Amino acid sequence: MRPVNHDRRRRGRESDRPRPVRSGTIEVVRPVEIACDESGSEGENLLGGETDVFAHAGVRMSWPEATACVREIRARIGSPAEEYKANHLLRAKHRAVLEWLLAPDGPLDGRGHVHLTGKTFFAVRAAVTLLAEQGTDEMARTLHRTGPAAFGAARWQFFLTAFTSVLRLKPRRGVTTSPPEFFALVEELARIPGEAAEIVARFRGGAERVAAYRARLAGDPGLVPVLDPLVPAVLHTVRHFSDGGTPVALVHDEQLALTPERVLQLKATLGPRLVDVRFVDSRADARVQIADFLAGVARRIASDDLNGHGDPRLTSLLRVFVDAGSVWDGTGSLLPGLERDGG
């Protein structure tokens, strides 16, 4: 396998770079449109849902390029389906089409970007960040790694599910835990010897922080829930494509979680990097269809890798698209040795 030029993929193709235009005596860089879609979105339902990985993809392609790419995918697959989804590409009989899409010098080379979130690790990191005084990323990785063995897999799962329940004003069906019940569980686990219990013991003083967070969530419709991975992923997508000062306009598949209030917060956070966000039906925009393909195949490849049965070839092809700021614990081979997360 030939080495991948990561720098070239990050910069994008020369023909894709924005050209400054002159307005009077001022040169203005026109924003680039980035088409986005996600896969594995279940909102704040991080545990016990249908998926264990959330993937957000951004693609920088022109309308003609994206249309030609979709047409080529349809021709290579040959399915009569009206709308193609990532599962068409993931079928074993279409393996060559998937490799072509992700390959160096393929249609997404230098144009695609994926931010990944391992949902369980995301929940652990949220617990450490919110509940532990001076909580660190290393502390979150340690707890994520040692928690199941220290407390037992079922008890550990219940603990994390209870934590996510406490942070949601309207929990879904399943575990519904009040803050006093949750902190009684913290006290119980903190008495078990070991490194994981020492970290959980740091959560004892988190009741006021939980109460304050729930109050802010109830009073501010624009507040981004700490358990929803979508907005952090969008932030990373914009930062990737605006690297070097290029302003970005997002064309996103329709997404109810990106409310007008949260879009305003995104713009306030990103400043001049993000100039516009508009929503479209993916079926009406070939660029968003390509982002949908990339997000869907990335989620499946990453999930397989996370669970110890990844495909080395596909993992290698995907790796160059993955943001180094993905919320990933380093399990598997997709992002080995990752020392930071999505923040």
SS (H, E, C) 80-94: CCCCCCHHHHHCHHH
Specify the 3-state DSSP secondary structure of 189: helix
> What DSSP string describes 271-325?
GGGEEEEEEE-GGG-HHHHHHHHHHHHHHHHHHHHHTT---HHHHHHHHTTB-TT
Indicate whether 209 pLDDT > 60. yes
The percent of residues above 90 in pLDDT, for the chain, comes to: 68
Report, as an integer, the average pLDDT of 172-178: 71
Choose between 287 and 244: higher pLDDT.
Answer: 287
Output the six-digit token pair for 121: 């690790």
Indicate whether 29 pLDDT > 50. yes
Start-end of H helices in the chain: 6-11, 63-77, 86-90, 95-102, 119-131, 137-151, 153-166, 179-190, 195-201, 207-219, 230-241, 260-270, 286-306, 312-319
Indicate whether 101 pLDDT > 70. yes
How high does pLDDT run on average in the chain? Answer: 87
Read off the pLDDT band of 83 (50, 70, 90): confident
**pLDDT score for 171:** 66
**pLDDT score for 283:** 85
Report, as an integer, the average pLDDT of 50-56: 95
Candidate ranges 132-136, 290-294, 326-330; pick with highest mean pLDDT: 290-294
**pLDDT score for 338:** 44
Rounded Cα distance between 82 and 246, Å, is 36
Among candidates 323, 313, 338, which has minimal Cα distance to 55? 323
Q: What does the pLDDT look like over 184-208, one tens digit per residue? A: 999 999 999 999 999 999 999 999 9
**pLDDT score for 3:** 36
Among 76-85, 111-120, 316-325, which stretch is predicted with the lowest mean pLDDT?
Answer: 76-85
Give the chain's length: 343
How many Cα atoms sit within 13 Å of 216 on the Cβ side?
12
Read off the pLDDT band of 85 (50, 70, 90): confident
Report, as an integer, the average pLDDT of 274-284: 92
Indicate whether 1 pLDDT > 60. no
Read off the pLDDT band of 96 (50, 70, 90): very high
Read off the pLDDT band of 63 (50, 70, 90): very high
Report, as an integer, the average pLDDT of 9-23: 48
Report, as an integer, the average pLDDT of 166-178: 76
Among candidates 21, 159, 106, which has minimal Cα distance to 317? 106
Read off the pLDDT band of 6 (50, 70, 90): very low
157 phi, psi to nearest 5 deg: -60, -40
